[in-house]
């Protein structure tokens, strides 16, 4: 038995030499396969990350462009609104200036008309005073005691002449 054990031990030792290298090669192959698979996964993850970063960069750029477009549109809308408001304010200012000019013209026309009426009234007043003076002079021929009345009437006529001239000057100046 001792011989059998020796034989088996020798056989086992020989088998180990043959089996161990075969097992080691298989393990190396499996390890290399796993390493290659892991390297593939790492490469794929890196590629996915690069693609994702590129996609995010494109999305950020698109978002920045969209925001810039919105900002430009908002600025354009603001400028258009501002221009519209300025045009409207200018139109209101023109309209107001027109109203003020019209009021000024109406006031001048009213003043001219009023001064014309004063002038007409002073002309009529002068006519009446001259007529009254003439009547008093006629009465003085009949009764000499009215002579003082004639002097007063002549003074009234002279004052009426001054009033008429002043009214005419004011009327002419208002035209």
- CA gyration radius for the chain? 62
60-90 CB burial, b ≥16 within 10 A, e <16 = eeeeeeeeeeeeeeeeeeeeeeeeeeeeeee
* Separation in Å, CA 171 to CA 92, 111, 113, 121: 34, 8, 8, 12
Residue 47: which pLDDT band, with cuts at 50, 70 and 90?
A: very high
The pLDDT, as a whole number, for residue 70 is 95
Residue 10: which pLDDT band, with cuts at 50, 70 and 90?
A: low
CA distance 122 to 136: 20
Structure confidence by residue, pLDDT tens digits, 80-126: 999 999 999 999 999 999 999 999 988 888 888 888 888 888 888 78
* Separation in Å, CA 138 to CA 10, 149, 150: 186, 11, 10
Tokens 């750029």 belong to 61
Phi, psi of 124 (to 5 degrees): -65, -40
CA distance 159 to 166: 11
Higher pLDDT, 22 or 33: 33
Q: State the average pLDDT for the chain.
A: 82
Residue 168: which pLDDT band, with cuts at 50, 70 and 90?
A: confident
Length of the chain: 175
The pLDDT, as a whole number, for residue 76 is 96
CA distance 140 to 132: 12
pTM: 0.42
* Averaged pLDDT, 139-156: 71
The pLDDT, as a whole number, for residue 4 is 64
């Amino acid at each position: 038995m001792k011989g059998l054990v020796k034989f088996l031990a020798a056989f086992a030792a020989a088998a180990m030499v043959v089996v161990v290298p075969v097992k080691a090669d298989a393990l190396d192959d499996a390890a290399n396969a796993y390493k290659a698979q892991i390297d593939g996964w790492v490469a794929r993850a890196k590629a996915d990350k690069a693609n994702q970063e590129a996609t995010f960069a494109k999305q950020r750029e698109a978002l920045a462009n969209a925001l810039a477009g919105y900002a430009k549109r908002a600025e354009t809308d603001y400028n258009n609104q501002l221009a519209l408001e300025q045009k409207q304010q200018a139109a209101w200012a023109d309209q107001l200036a027109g109203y003020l000019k019209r009021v000024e013209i109406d006031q001048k026309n009213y003043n001219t008309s009023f001064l014309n009426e004063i002038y007409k009234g002073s002309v009529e007043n002068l006519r009446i005073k001259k007529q009254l003076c003439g009547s008093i002079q006629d009465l003085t021929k009949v009764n000499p005691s009215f002579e003082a009345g004639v002097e007063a009437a002549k003074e009234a006529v002279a004052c009426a002449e001054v009033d008429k001239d002043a009214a005419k000057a004011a009327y002419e100046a208002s035209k």
